[in-house]
Amino acid sequence: MKQWVKKLVDQLDMDWGSSNGAKKPEGPVLSEERATIVYMLDIYNKNLFEIPKHQVRKVRAKIDTFAKDIVHAQNQESLNDTLFELRQFFSSYRIDEYSFVQNTIDDFKRIIWEFADHLSEEVNSETYAQSDMDKSLAQLREAVESNSVEELRAKSREFIDLYLKSQTTSNERRSKRMETVKKNLSSVKRQLMEANQTMRRDHLTGAHNRRSYDEQIKRYLQLNELDKDPITLVMLDIDFFKKINDNYGHDIGDFILQEAVRMLQESFSREEDFIARLGGEEFAVILPGCDAKAASKIVDDAMAKIRKEVFIHGDHQIRFTVSMGIAQLIPGETADTWYKRADGALYESKSTGRNKYTIAGPTATKKVA
């Protein structure tokens, strides 16, 4: 079995069927074709978002079931049945997902167009008023050239009255327009901020999401080129999280994710610390101004705190642990290479017992309990 397939099986954290206190069985041997499908389902599952008619936890449970059925399919007929159901589900869900995104975009477009239409109406009103002024001014010029005192007096009065009325109307219109513009701008700004927060925050836990993480990493890399201060990336997973979902249900799983973020925020509590949920039970923490040694001290304290915490939800009392990988940024390193070193250190922690952290070296890893 290829290394990436073995790593995928290890990361799934599924119960592969141990019984009678026997030694924990190895994960199943997967073909690359099945592993590829399971991998795609896992990635999709980690990046779900709430849409009408589809609660994330229910969709996640459904996709988990598909993944298990694909892994455990004993023959081609069983696999074909699962793949048929998966195609039906995915086709329906993807249409609803696309409709939600499109409707959201359409709503935003409508707000912008209404704002633009209002401005256009105001501009047209100003244009019409200016046209009347130009016409009256032209008539006044003709009266001057006609040498008629009566006509000059009449056109002068007409122009002055029109000018005063125009200025009064213009001032009133300008005042109303400014008030309306302020309200519209406030509305657009509020909705843009809400959309921006929605796009950059994980809907379940309130942590930053993958998109926000990618943007922040780029900023820190640019800043590091200037100040050269140490900065460390911590990758972490909740150990055996899928078993929590399987044993207690996705409601409890969601509760554990929320509690995990709460405890991470308490442990990594500096204003500059950045916590993101990258998907599923995988998180990243960026620690500006920390080298690997300082980061490991914070990580050690965080893990100790999580180990002794008892999480109560209804009648359930749950404990869990986390595994972490630590990588200090190497000068000149790319975001992708930095991430891979931290992720490799995390994998080392998980594959050597879990409930520990590993500090990544420049090319290899240094294990730390």
Cα distances from 109 to residues 50, 95, 105, in angstroms, run 21, 21, 6
Q: How far apart are CA 310 and CA 192, in angstroms?
A: 39
Q: How far apart are CA 166 and CA 329, in angstroms?
A: 66
Q: How far apart are CA 212 and CA 291, in angstroms?
A: 23
Residues annotated as catalytic are 281
